[in-house]
């Protein structure tokens, strides 16, 4: 069985978060969804569990980070092209997200990102396949 990753993120309004990420093209696994949580499918082996604050706190002995004051994590997703990076940022902005810095263009690598409705940072990155092969 391939190793999987489940990123757990607290959200203020589960329905609003589902609508936001649906607008970005993500789907959700209904088998792991109820009124307190949903499983957002990022790839065959990567998932984001969007959890109400109450549900999240049932797993954590520490308080939820205030994303208006600090960034708790940078979640970076690869995209197939520079245009895909820009398209997802544009979709995030249209769905109510914000940007927090300008795009970064290194020639062989391009990145930009957004903050979702709860201030979680999502980095998007494209890298020229020729640069990856060395």
pLDDT of residue 134: 57
* d(C-alpha 38, C-alpha 36), whole Å: 7
Question: Positive or negative, the Cα torsion across 51, 123, 100, 87?
Answer: negative
**Domain 1-61: assigned CATH number:** 3.10.180.10
The answer to whether domain 1-61 and domain 71-134 are alike in fold is: yes
CB 88 within 8 Å of CB 112: no
Segments making up each domain of the chain, as ranges? 1-61, 71-134
Q: What digits encode the pLDDT tens for the residues 97-131?
A: 999 999 999 999 999 999 999 999 999 999 998 88
pLDDT of residue 123: 97
């Amino acid at each position: 069985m391939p190793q999987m990753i489940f990123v757990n993120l607290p959200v203020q309004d589960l329905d609003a978060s589902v609508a936001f990420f649906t607008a970005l093209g993500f789907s959700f696994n209904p088998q792991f969804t109820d009124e307190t949580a949903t499983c957002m499918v990022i790839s065959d082996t990567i998932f984001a569990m969007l959890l109400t604050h109450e549900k999240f706190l049932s797993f954590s002995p520490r308080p939820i980070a205030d994303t208006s004051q600090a960034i708790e994590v940078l979640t970076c997703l690869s995209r197939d092209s520079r245009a895909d990076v820009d398209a997802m940022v544009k979709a995030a902005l249209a769905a109510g997200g914000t940007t927090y810095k300008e795009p970064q263009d290194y020639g062989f690598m391009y990145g930009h990102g957004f903050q979702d409705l709860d201030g979680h940072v999502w980095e998007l990155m494209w890298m020229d396949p020729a640069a990856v092969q060395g």
